[in-house]
Amino acid sequence: MTHGEAAGKRPQAPPVHSRTVTKRLTFGPARSAAELEAQASNEALAFNTPYDSCVAWLHTNRNHVRLVRSGGHVVGGLVQYEMGQFLGGRSVRNTGIAGVAVDPTARGQGAARALMRATLNELHREGVAVSTLYPTTFILYERAGYAAAGHRYRFRLPLARLGRVPADAPLRRLDPERDAKVVERLYRRIAKDRPGWLDRNHFIWERVYQDPGGAAVHGYVVPGGDGGVDGYVVYTQDAVGHYPGAAGRYPYGIKVRDVQVRDGAAARRIMAFFSACRTLARDVTWHGALDDHLLLQVPEIGTEISVAETWMQRIVHVQAALGQRGYPPRTSARLDFEVTDDVVAGNRGRWVLEVDRLAGKVSRTTRKAGRNTLRLDIRALASLYTGHLSARRLADLDLIEGSSTSLNLAERLFAGPQPSMPDYF
């Protein structure tokens, strides 16, 4: 998990604290600037990031900072990002978790565990449906009820393999002032049908147009009808250079921050743009879904496809999560299920999911669990919910229990393309 750095500022050494967790842990929002600064110090050390940019980041997000204290002193914290996540064609209320960091002297004593448990119970009370994060360790988050639920796929295309692609449509520079709205519209249209993609908030959009490391960001659009755009690409250039006298500025790699295309024609136009950069650009790297439009336009073998990161998901609120996502069309079904959750009590127990024409409704059931009741833990539900693991795979792994009928039904309800998430936060 990372956060933005204020570009171009002189790094300042963080103040040093020493906190052994000996007293009762308490949890809550920041009460003062001094508390934010104490946590900024933890962030700076944990993420090897300048202290002053951590202070700025926490101040910007001050209402979304949550801290854990021992004996009244801040020992750790995190930031919550309110956004959405597309699943089954609908946007589900999602809180992303970023910047989880604990004072090095207070680590290994349960501070992060307490912070995560308190955060999830607070989010549950607020009715947040799900939570996503990029972990640096699975264990901590697995203990809090998260499970691996999808990958962030990276594609690297060596431009020497691409050759010449003719440019047969217009392309112009992207002007964020003028184009932000139509770019967002195109993103949403594409993201809606990509399970796992973020329904981006202001912060994620800001990260598209601004590089946290301060590199110059460039963008181009493929103009479309009605003043819209059919495609866009936003990127930085990352020098790999060894040309004599080039001061390391070229050759370079094109690091795409965001690229979306409406159709094949727009994909070919963006490919033609990359092709035209191939004398000094060595390769292009971007992130997307496995059925990515651009990836499918590459005419030659040689694109590397890798899992850059794995993201985790937490079903924060069973009723909201299953009620807000979409389901396959022409499906009318009723699924009884029983959930265990060792962190959020409100999720435990027996539920019924009724699906009718794309929409689902979840309610408590007092019916006794029967043969066709699916039994699973909140972690298995997260992997099932995003489509990362099917009901049958989860059953093979002993993570879900049910009759053939209930497994087949769950298999159908949560079927869809492999989930992915190109954005990092």
Ligand X SMILES: CC(C)(COP(=O)(O)OP(=O)(O)OC[C@H]1O[C@@H](n2cnc3c(N)ncnc32)[C@H](O)[C@@H]1OP(=O)(O)O)[C@@H](O)C(=O)NCCC(=O)NCCS
Specify the residue, 41 or 390, whose C-beta has the smaller distance to ligand X: 41
Specify the residue, 42 or 324, whose C-beta has the smaller distance to ligand X: 42
**Minimal distance, residue 72 CB to ligand X, in Å:** 17
Q: What is the dihedral of CA 29, 32, 36, 38, to 10 degrees?
A: -110
Amino acid at residue number 364: R
Amino acid at residue number 377: D
Backbone phi, psi, residue 144, to 5°: -90, 0
- d(C-alpha 36, C-alpha 98), whole Å: 15
- Helix, strand or coil, per DSSP, at residue 272: helix
Specify the residue, 48 or 279, whose C-beta has the smaller distance to ligand X: 48
Specify the residue, 32 or 137, whose C-beta has the smaller distance to ligand X: 137
**Minimal distance, residue 314 CB to ligand X, in Å:** 13
Specify the residue, 95 or 324, whose C-beta has the smaller distance to ligand X: 95
**Minimal distance, residue 388 CB to ligand X, in Å:** 19
CB neighbour class for 96 (10 Å; exposed up to 12, middle 13-18, buried from 19) = buried
Specify the residue, 140 or 415, whose C-beta has the smaller distance to ligand X: 140
Amino acid at residue number 420: S
Specify the residue, 100 or 409, whose C-beta has the smaller distance to ligand X: 100
**Minimal distance, residue 43 CB to ligand X, in Å:** 8
**Minimal distance, residue 59 CB to ligand X, in Å:** 20
| Residues within the interface to ligand X (CB under 6 A) | 1, 46, 100-102, 107-113, 135-137, 139-140, 143
- d(C-alpha 318, C-alpha 326), whole Å: 14
Amino acid at residue number 141: Y
Name 345's Cβ contacts closer than 8 Å, sequence gap at least 6: none
**Minimal distance, residue 298 CB to ligand X, in Å:** 33
For 22, 326, 354, the CA distances from 333, given in Å and listed in that order, are: 52, 13, 6
Specify the residue, 43 or 230, whose C-beta has the smaller distance to ligand X: 43
Nearest to 334 by CA among 361, 315, 358: 361
**Minimal distance, residue 124 CB to ligand X, in Å:** 20
**Minimal distance, residue 102 CB to ligand X, in Å:** 4
Say how many C-beta atoms besides its own lie within 10 A of residue 253's C-beta.
19
Backbone phi, psi, residue 45, to 5°: -70, -45
Q: Which two tokens stand for residue 302?
A: 């040689």
Backbone phi, psi, residue 341, to 5°: -150, 115
Name 277's Cβ contacts closer than 8 Å, sequence gap at least 6: 159, 254
Location of structure tokens 């006794």: 368
DSSP 193-239: TSTT-EE--HHHHHHHHS-TT----EEEEEE-GGG-EEEEEEEEEEE
Q: What is the dihedral of CA 41, 45, 50, 52, to 10 degrees?
A: 0
**Minimal distance, residue 69 CB to ligand X, in Å:** 13
Specify the residue, 119 or 406, whose C-beta has the smaller distance to ligand X: 119
Specify the residue, 98 or 380, whose C-beta has the smaller distance to ligand X: 98
